Amino acid sequence: MHIVVCIKQVPSSIAVKTDPATQALTCTGSDYLINPFDENALEAALVLKDSDKAKVTVLTIGAAQAADVLREALGRGADAAQFISDAAFDGSDAWATGKILAAAIQKLGDVNLVICGKQTFDGDTAQVGPSLAEFLGWPCVAFVRKIALEAGALKVERMYEEGFEKIALPLPAVLTVGKEINTPRMASLKGRMAAKKAQLAPITAAALGLAPETVGAQGARTRLAKMAPVPRKSGGIKVDGSDAAVAAKTVVDKLREMKLV
């Protein structure tokens, strides 16, 4: 059993700012972490490794610093890591990203299961998992909250707002998971020490047999035209607090008016 987990480095939520002119996210010089749902994906794979002796490989696409998330994953117990990095990949949309990941998974050859986080913290499309499944031609179930491996096939539970579905599917397959599925473990000391020494040479577009114009901004099928902030809710009613007695009476009157007291 060979499980691939796709993980992405995302800015930590506190550090993100938006450019007032373009409304695009600017994340330079801030803290990064593993996309939270990808941590759940990794944990789901590691749980299968603990019970079914699977091999776990983590993949990421990103610039030099993205290798950090691979080291973190190795520290937690992943067996191998693939650092996919090439300037040609810049500007990839969900479609192009799925294509690159699918190429890397195909190149590994013996993969039975791919687990992704259901969506990322920054891009938020929830499309990469299904997109790479499409490129691989494998079945995909998104928003999974439970995975069981039985006689070489999968039984999973897929979440809905009000309830869940039980789905059986064959391998190979692609799953995407949310935070409901587990609590991610922390890296062990020995794992961290070993991960520090791991060699993570970048795997380029050429190495994956991808023509530069079919990936990255050039290969993207979608373009981000505009971003806009969500309009803030109107600020409620402000009561002048300079005189406490008057303020209290005003508040009580309002509450009475709204029939809340």
Binding site for another protein (CB under 8 A): 185-193, 196
In angstroms, give the least distance from the CB of 197 to another protein. 10
In angstroms, give the least distance from the CB of 190 to another protein. 5
In angstroms, give the least distance from the CB of 193 to another protein. 6
Q: Which is nearer to another protein, 189 or 244 (CB)?
A: 189
Q: Which is nearer to another protein, 129 or 191 (CB)?
A: 191
DSSP single-letter state for residue 207: T
Range 53-73 burial, b when 16+ CB lie within 10 A, else e = ebbbbbbbbbeeebbbbbbbb
Q: Which is nearer to another protein, 53 or 233 (CB)?
A: 53
Q: Give the separation between CA 240 and CA 232, rounded to whole angstroms.
A: 22
Q: Give the separation between CA 233 and CA 252, rounded to whole angstroms.
A: 23
Q: Which is nearer to another protein, 39 or 93 (CB)?
A: 39
In angstroms, give the least distance from the CB of 196 to another protein. 7
Instruction: Sheet with 163-170: list strands edge to edge.
Output: 80-84, 55-61, 2-6, 113-117, 173-177, 140-150, 153-160, 163-170
In angstroms, give the least distance from the CB of 37 to another protein. 17
3-state DSSP call for residue 124?
coil
Q: Give the separation between CA 131 and CA 144, rounded to whole angstroms.
A: 16
Please list, in sequence order, all residues whose beta carbon lies within 8 angstroms of the beta carbon of residue 124, skipping any fewer than 6 positions away: none
Q: Which is nearer to another protein, 168 or 193 (CB)?
A: 193
Q: Which is nearer to another protein, 2 or 76 (CB)?
A: 76
In angstroms, give the least distance from the CB of 222 to another protein. 36
Name the percent of the chain in helix, strand, coil, to the closest 5.
35, 25, 40
